[in-house]
């Protein structure tokens, strides 16, 4: 079986691009800024969900890159993209309530969608984003914003209480 070199190069390029985009998408889901609470636990934001866990022993079954290191580095987003995501989120009454309770915007993480068209054209677009909110050291919220529909589709709120005893 003889393989056309041009077709092989195109196919290899698509596979490489898909692998890079997958890495970027995984990075968008992982939080690049784990924080340590006063009792030594690292507190994580959005991934598949918000969670707290003692990271000193590592995450069982999770790749090393989930410890705050993105596999392809961070994604830089424009001021206009951030403003668009924030404006859509602020139009939601639940997000308004969080902001009124003292939550602040700390990050905007794009969720990137890649489509390979029938003719082989690859289209990559940030179709949604996760808006990260924090309230002092006691709470975090992850707000999913659908950019195509211009609305908030999900909010995860996580609070932590630390009681230190002498």
Stretch 64-87: mean pLDDT: 69
Is 12 within a domain? yes
Tokens representing residue 99 in the block: 């902001």
How many domains does one find in the chain? 1
Give the angle 133-139-142 at the CA atoms, nearest 5°: 40
- Domain assignment present for residue 164? The answer is no
Calpha distance 79→92 (Å, rounded): 21
Residue 64, in any domain of the structure:
yes
102: containing domain = 5-159
Write phi, then psi, for 129 (nearest 5 degrees).
-155, 160
d(CA 14, CA 76): 23
pTM as predicted: 0.56
Residue 143: give its domain's CATH number: 3.10.450.40
More confident call, 121 vs 72: 121
Closest to 73 measured CA to CA, from 14, 129, 32, 107 = 32
In sequence order, which residues have a C-beta less than 8 Å from that of residue 87 and are 6 or more positions away?
Answer: none
Whether 63 maps to a domain, the answer reads yes
Q: Is residue 73 part of a domain?
A: yes
Q: Tell me: the pLDDT tens digits for 10-53? A: 877 887 787 777 666 555 544 443 433 333 333 344 543 443 33
Residue 144 within any structural domain of the chain: yes
> Tell me: the pLDDT tens digits for 76-101?
889 999 999 999 999 999 999 999 99
165 domain-assigned: no
Domain annotation covers residue 166? no
């Amino acid at each position: 079986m003889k393989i056309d070199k041009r077709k092989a190069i195109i196919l290899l390029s698509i596979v490489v691009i898909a692998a890079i985009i997958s890495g970027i998408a995984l990075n968008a889901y992982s939080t690049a800024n784990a924080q340590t609470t006063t009792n030594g636990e690292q507190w994580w934001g959005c991934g598949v969900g918000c969670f707290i866990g003692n990271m000193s022993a590592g995450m069982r079954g999770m790749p090393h890159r989930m410890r705050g290191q993105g596999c392809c580095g961070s994604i830089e987003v424009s001021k206009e993209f951030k403003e668009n995501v924030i404006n859509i989120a602020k139009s939601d009454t639940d997000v308004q309530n969080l902001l009124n309770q003292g939550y602040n915007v700390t990050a905007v993480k794009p969720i990137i969608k890649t489509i390979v068209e029938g003719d082989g054209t690859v289209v990559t677009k940030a179709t949604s984003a996760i808006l990260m909110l924090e309230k002092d050291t006691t709470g975090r919220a992850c707000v999913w914003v659908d950019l195509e529909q211009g609305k908030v589709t999900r909010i995860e709120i996580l609070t932590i209480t630390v009681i230190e005893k002498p």
